[in-house]
Amino acid sequence: MLADYAWIVRRSAAVAAVVGAAMVGLGAGLGGSKGLIGAVIGVALVAAFFGISIVAVGRAARVSPQVMMATALGTYLIKIVVLLFLVGQFQDSTAFNPRIFGLTAIVCILAYSGAQVICTMRRKLLYVRPDGER
Structure confidence by residue, pLDDT tens digits, 54-95: 889 888 888 888 998 999 899 989 988 998 898 888 888 888
Q: In the prediction, which pLDDT does 5 show?
A: 74
Amino acid at 101: F
Helices (H), 1-134: 2-61, 65-90, 98-123
Cβ count near 69 (within 10 Å): 13
Q: In the prediction, which pLDDT does 22 show?
A: 96
Residue 72 CB-density burial (10 A; 0-12 exposed, 13-18 middle, 19+ buried):
middle
Q: Are 20 and 46 a contacting pair, CB within 8 Å?
A: yes
Give the pTM. 0.81
Structure letter (DSSP) for residue 132: -
Give percent of the chain with pLDDT exceeding 70. Answer: 90
Q: In the prediction, which pLDDT does 42 show?
A: 92
Quick one: average pLDDT of 20-48? Answer: 94
d(CA 40, CA 23): 9
Determine the straight-line distance between the first and last CA of the chain, rounded to whole angstroms: 12
Per-residue pLDDT tens over the stretch 113-124: 999 889 888 877
Q: In the prediction, which pLDDT does 111 show?
A: 95
